[in-house]
Structure 1
Amino acid sequence: MTHRKKVTGIILSGGKSSRMGREKGLVEYQGKALIEYSIDALRTVCDELIISSGNDCYSYLGIPIVNDEVENCGPIGGIYTCMKAVPSDIYLVVSCDVPNITSHLFSNLLSVLDQNEAVIPIDANNKFQPLVACYSSTCLPVFESELKEGRLKMMKLLEKLKVLYHKIPPEVDSNGSNLFFNANTPDDIEK
């Protein structure tokens, strides 16, 4: 009897939102809060969802909020704290400001994880997207080590993992180059 792996979705919303000028995940985009797009994309492929944030403004969503164990450590700190707080086999990570992502994308990432420790999508512009990605629980010690050593760059952390850099197939990327659109400023929202 094979055991089904537990998949937990981590929504990163711990940034300062300085370019947006207010809590980024709550900014309305095409009729709903940015963070709700991330939730919708993860909900059907995850057993559990958690939000990495130092702000309880997301409590209305009914999803557990995990505060960073070590403050001001960026995505590495948020991912590490969530992995430690909620044991799981696999973590799907997404920032709160990418409204065009889909559950189809996350299903695709899960399907190619296999023996890798992480699957990092490559977008239509050939850029790596480590904050819309899939991580195995085996990554936890590397996140912990990088955090303890004060090394907070995701791309450097990835060098220490067995990573599959995965070009997203056209049938998954129906938005073309906009699949990973990142809303950072009020101008981005108005476009």
Structure 2
Amino acid sequence: MGTDKALLRYEGSRLVDRAVAHLQRICDDVVVASGPRTIPELRVAQVPDRPTGTGPLGGLAAGLARVDGDVAFVLAVDLPDPDLGFLARLESHWQGEAAVVPTAAGHPQPLHAVWATACAPALSLLAASGTRSLIDAARQLDATILDEAQTASLVDHDRWAWNLNRPSDLEAGSA
């Protein structure tokens, strides 16, 4: 996109505010992994990557370390139409593993998933050792990665994994 996605507007709201509002419908505590910056006018806790400069994997580790409870719902800011019921159903499949990760279009979706808070230290170590891929981290920690058929049986709508990657996506999604 060439800019900070969290601050982009979609249907009148910043993407970060939209993601927070979605999560507040199903969570008591919402934490935003905001990387090296602080997002202005955000009324929830923000955490920097852990370790610093390690991108989404470090952000996930920091967020999980900050959350109470056994699991956390994880949602990327560029997923404007998440399936919140789906996240709850994913949680019901969790049996103590690092994460339950759905698959869409042949790709695991670790940022529309349920992650165990206990794996935060392991994720930090992976990030510190040079791992950058959330999918690689999920596999290294033996997360459950649902196949597309398993995923399809749990979702309520097809747009749950649609993400905003290009400026044209912002316009197409609002049409």
Same fold (TM over 0.5): yes
Matched, 1:55 2:37: yes
Q: Distance in 1 between matches of 2:66 and 2:142?
A: 23
Work out the number of aligned pairs and report it: 168
Partner residue in 1 for 2:77: 96
CA-CA distance at 1:180 after TM superposition: 0.9
Q: Determine what percentage of the aligned residue pairs are the same residue.
A: 26
CA-CA distance at 1:137 after TM superposition: 2.1
Q: Distance in 2 between matches of 1:171 and 1:73?
A: 32
CA-CA distance at 1:184 after TM superposition: 2.0
Deviation track 1:7-29 (CA, whole Å, cap 9, x = no partner) reads xxxxxxxxxxxxx2332112111
Partner residue in 2 for 1:169: 152
Alignment gaps of 5+ in structure 2: none
Name the SS for the 1:133 alignment partner: strand
Q: Distance in 2 between matches of 1:56 and 1:85?
A: 16
Q: Distance in 2 between matches of 1:114 and 1:63?
A: 29
Name the SS for the 1:42 alignment partner: helix
CA contact (8 A) 1:45 1:106 kept: no
Partner residue in 2 for 1:11: none
Q: TM-score, normalised by structure 2?
A: 0.84
Partner residue in 1 for 2:124: 144
Matched, 1:135 2:115: yes
CA contact (8 A) 2:110 2:134 kept: yes
Which has a greater percent of helix? Answer: 2
Partner residue in 2 for 1:38: 19
CA contact (8 A) 2:54 2:128 kept: no
In structure 2, relative to structure 1, the CA distance for the partners of 1:97 and 1:141 (3 Å cut) is: same
Partner residue in 2 for 1:15: none
Paired residue type of 2:70: D
1:172-187 map, 5 Å:
172-174=155-157, 176=158, 178-187=159-168
Partner residue in 2 for 1:71: 52
Q: Distance in 2 between matches of 1:43 and 1:51?
A: 12
Q: Distance in 2 between matches of 1:112 and 1:106?
A: 10
Paired residue type of 1:168: T
